[in-house]
Amino acid sequence: MNMSNNKKITRLLIANRGEIAVRIMQSAQKIGIHCIALYSDADQNAMHVKQADEAWYIGASPAKDSYLVVETVLQVAKDAQADAIHPGYGFLSENAGFAQAIQDAGIIWVGPPVSAIEAMGSKSESKALMEKAKVPLVPGYHGDNQDEMFLAEQVKKIGFPVLIKASAGGGGKGMRVVESEDEIMAAIKASKREGLNSFGDDKLLAEKYITRPRHIEIQVFMDQNGNGVYLFERDCSIQRRHQKVVEEAPAPQFSEQERQAMGEAALQAAKAINYEGAGTVEFLYDNGTFYFMEMNTRLQVEHPVTEMITGQDLVVWQIKVAQGESLPLTQDQLHIHGHAMEVRIYAEDPDNDFLPTTGTLDHLQLPKLIQGRVRLDTGVQQGDEVSPYYDPMISKLIVWGEDRAQCLSTLKQALQTYQIAGVTTNLSFLRRVVNVDAFAQGDVSTQFIEEFDQQLLKQSAIPLHHLVAAVCQHMFNLESIGKKRRASDDYTNPWHGLSSLRLNQASKHTLRFNTKSDETLDVDVTLCNGHNNQTQASPLIELQIAFNGDHHTVKTRKHDNQVQYEINGQWRSARVIEHNNILWIYDNHGESQLSYVQSDFNQHTEQAGSLTAPMNGTIIQIDSSPGQVVKAGDVLMIMEAMKMEHAIKAPMDGTIKEICFNIGDLVNESAMLIEMDEA
Ligand code: ADP
């Protein structure tokens, strides 16, 4: 932190993007600080740019060409006359060189001293430091000897299972669990490789793998005068791929004595490195015993749950400390009030190993936000693109209740009304997580998702009423396409539009849908003209729907973007969004997703041969190479989107010039995949 005490911050540069940039701005602007944002090509229209007082362009979309370029960010800080920089989390937040360069330029760093970042930057060295400060550690080896045979000996000494970690690792990368002697060497080599590739450092440590721990971390804060407090704990045990998805404070089933013991140990850790500002000390907790894991020298993603239970604004605290002020409250003045939970909404596919997804947020309906009770931190709005360049987190939903039970029911309610279409997200998965009985009982561990995977990962069969809603909406969509094509016609019969699509030749049609679990659903739909009671604004249509051998008579109409339908004597309504043949169905019973398989009676939008991506997806196979001579219709590449494969075929005879992507790459809709010269 800047040594010049009590210097007021008036112009704050936020060296970050997305939800955390927006969140920092909200607090800074509230206390009269002018906020300066940064943006890359992909972020020109981003929310953090719109909400800033001014914004500076820093380069191309990949973070390594913009948000991670120390010289560029520093130069903007100087040119924009920023007197302070807040790094947020991720990007440059734990880059000691950046923190040093800023302070050398006379700019306040809203973060801890460079020496503290350095001390905690390596898991091995931080463990050595904590050992000295008498903070309890997971038993293991964290020394300098990196000889593979020596490391293997250490692993055996610790006793199986053992966790091998890249010392410079983060985000769950570079970790391997070793269960037996024959796995040791392969794990050492793999972690070294991952450490080197991801962090430029192949140093490893090994520790006892605790089989069913909880992840409990302590929020600490220190000012420049050496005063420190802990703002209690957060339980972040619910993780996938060693990354957090649900966090809460206070930790369930946790005693006051444990809270105090861990709080004091965390503060001891912070004091041992002359810490300043906000920091988090992470522990593994195993049946009343706790072990230091690492300290994160920045604001954490999950800091809002701490804010909700303490009533404090941690970003304001950070700014005050950076200005040289004392901590706003002493330990005695801090109290836990109620209970808070946070869920992270990611653009990812839980049914596909949580791989990130991309796309356009065609439809966003937020839960009802209530001051102090339901909060949503986000950096995107409807219509925004989730690009492959940055972290796939869309938002954080944070709720508060007087006690854990009330908090949980508020969370369930909020999750139920949160709708996102256009991008596959983990929303349904999160709804399932918070409905697991063990979660309600606070019986959590880092193994939670594995333990309950049967309940969490399988999308159950699509409810009949969701399928009916999809059919009705799909018919309305076809009708409006038909109408547009026949704009000059003025038909009062709503299905006239469809006849232009040759839909009513037999008045009976088969629609084919695929579920996310690759089940094919064929639905026979018969149109019965619905002249009765119809007005042009919301015609009432009657359909006969046959599915799985059962026949249903359905009446349907559109109302306020909702499709309303009557089946078995009951009217229901749903919101169905259709984009690129994917249908998202939402109603107050939940969410379903279906993909519509084009059939002959519909006009093909699928290109016979186009070299651009038909939708957001992943390249899974490449069947051509530069220089190759191909014939029109040859399959050149296969991409996968929404669990369906799409063949990219040559539109003409010619020669391949360039293949623009590799296997495994995420591509955006309409990205050029292959360049080719016509014969
Ligand atoms: P990263 O810096 O990559 O996030 P951490 O060291 O913070 O890695 O660990 C991330 C997660 O991995 C923890 O929250 C915990 O779930 C698991 N983990 C780490 N160390 C151990 C261990 N010794 N035993 C069991 N689980 C562990």
Report which protein residue has its CA nearest ligand 1's atom 17.
242
What pLDDT is attached to residue 669?
75
| Class in CATH terms, 606-678 | mainly beta
Report which protein residue has its CA nearest ligand 1's atom 14.
215
Q: Tell me the residue type at 86.
A: H
| CA–CA gap between residue 175 and residue 180 (Å, rounded) | 16
| Choice from 124, 215, 246 to test ligand 1 binding pocket (greatest atom count within 8 A of CB) | 215
Strands (E), 529-679: 541-547, 550-559, 562-567, 570-579, 582-587, 590-597, 617-622, 629-630, 635-641, 644-649, 654-659, 666-667, 674-678
Apex 80 CA angle, 75 and 82, nearest 5: 90
Question: Tokens at residue 496, please?
Answer: 């006239």
Asked whether 198 and 169 are in contact (CB, 8 A), the reply is: yes
Report which protein residue has its CA nearest ligand 1's atom 11.
242
Report which protein residue has its CA nearest ligand 1's atom 23.
209
Residue 209 CA, closest ligand 1 atom number:
24
| CA–CA gap between residue 362 and residue 676 (Å, rounded) | 32
What pLDDT is attached to residue 233?
98
Residue 169 CA, closest ligand 1 atom number:
3
Distance from residue 242's CA to the centre of ligand 1 (Å): 6
Burial of 610 (0-12, 13-18, 19+ CB in 10 A): middle
Of 17, 298, 373, 375, which one is the catalytic site residue?
298
- Kindly report the length of the chain: 679
Distance from residue 162's CA to the centre of ligand 1 (Å): 12
Percent of the chain as helix, strand, coil, to the nearest 5? 30, 35, 40
Asked whether 501 and 478 are in contact (CB, 8 A), the reply is: yes
Question: Tokens at residue 41, please?
Answer: 């090509």
What pLDDT is attached to residue 115?
97
What pLDDT is attached to residue 371?
96
| CA–CA gap between residue 461 and residue 491 (Å, rounded) | 39
3-state secondary structure of 120: helix
What pLDDT is attached to residue 241?
86
Asked whether 147 and 204 are in contact (CB, 8 A), the reply is: no
The domain segmentation of the chain, as residue ranges, is: 11-110, 139-208, 214-456, 464-601, 606-678
- 493 contacts: CB under 8 Å, gap ≥ 6: 529, 531
What pLDDT is attached to residue 534?
46
Lining ligand 1 with CB less than 6 A are: 138, 163, 169-173, 207-210, 213, 215, 239, 242, 282, 284, 293-294, 446
**With respect to CATH, is domain 139-208 assigned 3.30.1490.20?**
yes
Tell me which of 1.10.10, 1.10.3470, 1.10.150, 3.30.700 is the CATH number of domain 464-601: 3.30.700
What pLDDT is attached to residue 12?
98
Q: Tell me the residue type at 240.
A: R
193 is catalytic: no
Going by their DSSP bridges, the two strands 339-346 and 393-401 should be labelled as antiparallel
Distance from residue 213's CA to the centre of ligand 1 (Å): 10
Residue 239 CA, closest ligand 1 atom number:
16
Pick from 644, 630, 48: which is nearest to 659 by CA? 630
The 8 Å CB, 24+ separation contacts for 500-505 are: 501/601, 501/602, 501/603, 502/601, 503/478, 503/527, 503/601, 505/601
The answer, yes or no, to whether the previous bond of 463 is cis (omega within 30 of 0) is: no
CATH architecture of 11-110: 3-Layer(aba) Sandwich (3.40)
CATH architecture of 214-456: 2-Layer Sandwich (3.30)
Distance from residue 172's CA to the centre of ligand 1 (Å): 7
| CA–CA gap between residue 486 and residue 533 (Å, rounded) | 24
Tokens 């030749």 correspond to 505
Q: CA 374: distance to chain centroid?
A: 19
Write b or e for each residue in 254-285: b if 16 or more Cβ atoms lie within 10 A of its Cβ, otherwise e. Answer: beeebbeebbebbbbbbebbebbbbbbbbbbb
What pLDDT is attached to residue 609?
53
Q: Compute φ and ψ for 95, nearest 5 degrees.
A: -100, 105
Report which protein residue has its CA nearest ligand 1's atom 6.
293
Distance from residue 229's CA to the centre of ligand 1 (Å): 25
Asked whether 433 and 450 are in contact (CB, 8 A), the reply is: no
Distance from residue 76's CA to the centre of ligand 1 (Å): 36
Q: Which residues of the chain have pLDDT under 70?
A: 1-5, 458-460, 480-507, 529-538, 598-610, 642-644
Residue 140 CA, closest ligand 1 atom number:
23
Tokens 């760093």 correspond to 109
